[in-house]
Amino acid sequence: MSSTSSSSGKGNDFKLQPGDIILTKGPVLFGFFGHSSIALDHDTVLQIEGPGDKPITESFESFKQRFGVKKNDWIKVYRCEYPNAGQKAADWAKAHYKNSDKTYLVTLNLKSERFTYCTKIIYQAYKYGVSKDTINDHGLLIISPYALVDNFNNDYRLKLVKKY
């Protein structure tokens, strides 16, 4: 797997930071393209994958092996540059979803935690763990992985820090 650097981190020197948002090309589920997860620390990501699943944590290395090895696969890591926002989002995600019995289901309720999906966890972590002003939700009912990045407000905008 080749890795190219964008703005920071060179080769294998790249380190995740808490709150980093990891987007991938696949899988396609319910018409959504892509998948997302959130870094809890320098090596652990939290995610939920599909119908009936519960949130899981795994090492970033394992995540890269599962989502970034096919010919046309890619992984992008984005970072919120607002001071301490990433840590606060990671702490919120950990407290509300790590080792929980919450279940994967795409619903129109962005506030509910009982049923969730990959980008909803990230949305909630930043919206409720950092500030209600982090994300423009202007009536959004469902957030797709690719739309997530563009919905962060200017003060909290995300920067692409690594691409695999």
Q: d(Cα 35, Cα 127) in Å, to the nearest integer?
A: 19
Domain count, the chain: 1
- The total of other beta-carbon atoms located within 10 Å of residue 33's CB is 13
Whose tokens are 């393209």? That residue is 33
12 within domain boundaries: no
8 within domain boundaries: no
118 within domain boundaries: yes
Residue spans of beta strands (DSSP E) within the chain: 4-5, 21-24, 35-39, 44-47, 56-59, 75-80, 103-104, 115-116, 158-163
State the pTM of this model: 0.88
Domain span at residue 108 reads 18-163
pLDDT in tens, 27-64: 555 555 789 999 999 999 999 998 889 999 999 999 99
Question: If pLDDT is split at 50, 70 and 90, which confidence band does 11 have?
Answer: low
CATH number at residue 51: 3.90.1720.10
